[in-house]
Amino acid sequence: MPFTLNPEVGASLAKLFGTSPPPPPEVGDVNTRRERTAAHFGALKTLMTAIEDVETQDFHTKAEDGHEILCRWFTRKNYKLAGSSAICYAHGGGMIALDVDFYDPLIKRYVSRSGVPFMAIDYRLAPEVKAPIPVTDTYAGLQYLHVHAPELGVNPERIAIMGDSAGGGITASLAHYIKLKNGPAVCKQILVYPMLDDRNTIKDGAIAPFAIWSSDDNKTGWGALLGDRIGGEDVKPFEAAARMTVADAKDLPPAYIDVGELDIFRDEGLEYARKLGQAGVSCEFHLLPSVPHAFEVFAPDSEVARAAMDFRHKAITSF
């Protein structure tokens, strides 16, 4: 039987996008994708229930080239931190769009439920910067969290890295970059429908009708990040994590991955989990039926979104 879309998710998508969405932008059109993504996330923010029990504080640190990076610290109000775990977070946006401000309500949901504080890193976007700058910016934010862990009430041995979509890809690449640099240890990598493979630019006919993020979008995002190196032989795992070999995977932190079966990132997520397993790296993997990319953002009250959030909550509180 052919794929079908989860009806709860489908109803939410129809409400947000309408039954006659505008034609997709051309490959390489970053600005239109930025504008549409910002408009969709802006609309979603107005529909979300406000999270009142989480507060934020902004810090800044320097990237390797001196650029000042925003690091936003999310904590539950009146929640004493002493030796707490913490998460360093990279937001989504296809490598080309969004920022920490758009992700405020999404991160607050995780913090409110779990009590685990998050530090979200406002890494720079492509095409204004090229790989591996989003990864090295996030690495600078992770270093800041480690250095300041005692004053933030965090145990530096209980820090994990996490991201969704492009941020999931950046998080996976960050694990490789940490290993390369012998950087601060992290105890887990939590990858939510991660964008891992710059070679994933061919339309999958079975998924294409449901794709929120399409193969053309993927070609645009990776092209903006890698330029004419996209799909080439010299791309490294700390730039596109799917380039890892089993040998590269050895000694990476244990992983959590979830992805919908109607997401173009499905197969690259499965392959990444397979390589981690072959390298002896523990990986919890969830393939969620009948849902596309970012399903829980568009339909947060659906049964499948609640199930996914339960899985993530267990991962977030597991260390």
Residues designated catalytic:
165, 263, 293
Establish how many alpha carbons lie within 13 A of residue 13's alpha carbon, considering only the half-sphere containing its beta carbon.
Answer: 18
